Amino acid sequence: MSNESEISRRRTFAIISHPDAGKTTLTEKLLLFGGAIHVAGAVKSNKIKKTATSDWMEIEKQRGISVATSVMGFNYGDYKINILDTPGHQDFAEDTYRTLTAVDSVIIVVDVAKGVETQTRKLMEVCRMRNTPVIIFVNKLDREGRDPFDILDELEKELKISVRPLSWPINIGAKFKGVYNIYEHSLNLFQPDKQHVTDRVEIDDIIDHTIDDAVGEDDAAQLRADIDLIDGVYPEFDVTEYLDGQLAPVFFGSALNTFGVKELLDCFVRIAPSPRAVQAEERIVTPTEEPFSGFVFKIHANMDPNHRSCIAFVKVCSGVFRRNETYKHVRSGKTYRFSAPTAFMAQKKEIIDEVYPGDIVGLPDNGIFKIGDTITESEDLHFKGLPSFSPEMFKYIENTDPMKTKQLNKGIEQLMDEGVAQLFVNQFNNRKIIGTVGQLQFEVIQYRLLHEYGAQCRWEPINLYKACWIESEDEDAMSAFKKRIYQFMAVDREGRDVFLADSNYVLQMAQQDFPKIRFHFTSEF
């Protein structure tokens, strides 16, 4: 099969939402349709039958939330689908933002009762910045919720995007009877079933009297009135507008009951974009180019706790990545050969020989990779748009078991490589400070250090406002600055100077008093 046909059959997308909207459940059901799993909720590699396949870290099973992006690939008909299931919780938004740089389209999950929530708005902003095509899945139709027309109005207003329903519910909550598929002119009757797929009723069009027999005359009449209103108010669905990120098709269903999901998936594979061109600093890179190129958008420590291994997740942008070939690591200028590149099904992975544009490949990482690194066949490329962050919360990390110092240091180093937290060492007292964007990150780090590395730590409070990376061509100005605020100076893992300001006032005064020093609020400058 030629590269072009392999590229055209790939669909790489992220599922994003506010916590508890049903994102991970939807992922499970998509895998169910793809035959990647056979019973929803089953994790085939262990005996736990009630946790989601994509939430495989022990803390995720305990908390019932996703704390890291999972990558899952499977075939569906003629298509190769790569799903990236992202954390919904805002404390892990950094992981989600980076993941959005590695996908070609997005499915947003919205709870029919809660509507558009804060985190959904923020994630939509990132999609809009990148003109990423978006499909919306309104979930939990089997529960009481808002009127579907009200939901459509809210989606347009809050997400600032035109919408067009491609399926429509017949009642909601206790009276929910099914979904009419506007895109394919078919009727799906609701039967609550968490494991299997419900049957569909084939009809010619909306005036077919089979609908009356299936749902009753009153509901059939209401459905026809709703479809008339939709056709009158909303423009015809235009694939080009969707691909340009201007129009979001909307589907309704219940992911928990495997309902409305197949309609979503069947439409998605037909309209969603295959791998797209990627902007590098030097030029635009198209998927059909012969030479291989890709970038690291995520690093995960301890995917296999038995081997303490780190995996770098690489999005293939062009060419074909081949096992045992030599590739250039652009940042270091060195070349490496990878004998065990892996494809993923959550934490289950298999060695793969060829990886095409749009696919995600896992490369064993013994400390050579950082998030944002580029790997190419030969050319020096630097892919843009991988956001880094200035932490908003800080704590001292202290070792509670001196006998496990080596394990603690290794654990901190590998977890910091994932990019979800940052390590600073205070130049005044040499104490280690961890900075994150959310409180929950501290709990996850502490939990993973104990359960994955056998190292115990405790947190001690520190009152800091912001971390600023500083630089200056004027050595005297830099020296004077460091003398004035020496107790607030730290270094990051790269050995760069970082000013840990304890208040906005102190930061503003420092900027005012030292005009020759540049203050940066991300680590990329």
Architecture label for domain 393-520: 2-Layer Sandwich (3.30)
- To the nearest whole percent, how much of the chain has pLDDT over 70? 82
Average pLDDT of the segment spanning 185-189: 76
Give pLDDT, residue 348.
Answer: 59
Number of Cβ within a 10 Å radius of residue 359? 25
Residue 378's pLDDT band, with cuts at 50, 70 and 90, is confident
Contact 85, 72 (CB under 8 A): yes
CATH number of 279-376: 3.40.50.300
Q: Do domains 8-68+87-272 and 393-520 have the same CATH topology?
A: no
Average pLDDT of the segment spanning 43-57: 40
Contact 211, 202 (CB under 8 A): no
pLDDT at 511 > cutoff 60: yes
Q: Where are the domains of the chain?
A: 8-68+87-272, 279-376, 393-520
Residue 175's pLDDT band, with cuts at 50, 70 and 90, is confident
CA distance 453 to 446: 10
Task: Render 221-281 in DSSP notation, one character per residue.
Answer: HHHHHHHHHHHHHSPPP-HHHHHTTSEEEEEE-BTTTTBSHHHHHHHHHHHS--S--EEBS
CA distance 293 to 317: 6
Helix (H) or strand (E) holding 328: strand 326-329
CA distance 311 to 304: 9
Fold of 8-68+87-272: Rossmann fold (3.40.50)
Give pLDDT, residue 136.
Answer: 95
pTM of the model: 0.74
Phi then psi for 41, rounded to 5 degrees? 90, -5
Q: How much is the mean pLDDT over the chain?
A: 81
pLDDT at 66 > cutoff 50: no
Phi then psi for 455, rounded to 5 degrees? -115, 135
**Model confidence over 238-293: pLDDT tens digits?**
999 999 999 999 999 988 888 888 889 999 999 999 999 988 888 999 999 999 99
Task: Tell me the Cα Rg of the chain.
Answer: 25
